[in-house]
Structure 1
Amino acid sequence: MSWIDIGALDDIPVRGARVVKAEVGCIALFRTDEAEVYATTNTCAHKGGPLSEGIVHGRRVTCPLHNWVWSLETGEAQGADEGRIATYPVRIEAGRILIDGDAVGKRSAA
């Protein structure tokens, strides 16, 4: 993996999100209550809603268009919904968010 520094942890509010652009498209970064960060595609697999504008709760995000819930850890739809969104490896070092450059440079989901 080749890690790319994409910003400070404090740039994302707790239970909030931010979007970065990559070769694979727009990636949403989500910060949870536990100050963890997860990265997924910003596009809901259901109707294409902007996930970064959804509600972050626990390790899940709810799409703002039709309330589909997605796991930030696995990308799988939660509850009765079916489907998957792409997820990307991230880590935090010294208060900085790093994303796997190899994964976001590819056209397939991580």
Structure 2
Amino acid sequence: MTWTDIGHIDEIPLRGARKVKTIGGCVAVFRTAEAEVFATGGSCPHKGGPLADGIVHDRKVTCPLHNWVIDLTSGAVLGADDGQVPTYPVRVEEDGRLLIDLGELRLRRSA
């Protein structure tokens, strides 16, 4: 895995998100009310809405454009027959630093 430091967990509020620009493209990083952290592709598959601007609830995010709901654990669009957002491994270090594995992101961008 190619772990890259993307900031501190305190930079993302509970039930919030932020967009992270990486060498492989933009990623949305989410923090749930229980302080779980997830990372997905930055855009909704419906109309490209910015997922980091969405509403985080439970382990889901609602796209701010048309209310599509995405499961943060799998990237699946809930209630739709198709649609998927890529997900990326992310972890929180003991000191609160967030690390994301960009290896898969780079592979997808080069395909």
Q: Provide TM-score, normalisation by structure 1.
A: 0.91
Q: Secondary structure at the match of 1:70?
A: strand
2:99 alignment partner in structure 1: 98
Runs of 4 or more off by more than 3 Å in structure 1? none
Where in structure 1 are there 5+ consecutive unaligned residues? none
Q: Provide TM-score, normalisation by structure 2.
A: 0.90
Q: Structure 2 matches for 1:1-110, cutoff 5 A?
A: 1-80=1-80, 82-94=82-94, 95-107=96-108
Q: Deviations over 1:3-29 (max 9, x none)?
A: 111110000000000111123321000
Q: Deviations over 1:32-80 (max 9, x none)?
A: 0111110011110001100111100000000000000000000001124
Percent identity over the alignment is 60
Counterpart residue type for residue 22 of structure 1:
T
Where in structure 2 are there 5+ consecutive unaligned residues? none
Q: Secondary structure at the match of 2:21?
A: strand
